[in-house]
Amino acid sequence: MNHRTFTTLAVAAGAMLISGSALAHHGRGLIYDAKKETTVKGTVTEFLWRNPHVEIGIEAADPKASPRQWLMEASSTGVLSQRGWTKRSLKPGEVVTVTFHPPVKGAATGDLIKVVFADGRELPR
Q: Is residue 61 part of a domain?
A: yes
**CA atoms of 53 and 109, how far apart (whole Å):** 13
Number of separate domains in the chain? 1
Q: Is residue 37 part of a domain?
A: yes
Q: Is residue 20 part of a domain?
A: no
Q: Is residue 113 part of a domain?
A: yes
For residue range 78-103, what is the model confidence (pLDDT) as tens digits? 999 999 999 999 999 999 999 999 99
> Residue 95 sits in which domain range?
28-117
Q: Is residue 19 part of a domain?
A: no
Query: 0.85 cut: is pTM over it?
Result: no
For residue range 40-58, what is the model confidence (pLDDT) as tens digits? 999 999 999 999 999 999 9
* CATH code assigned at 58: 2.40.50.140
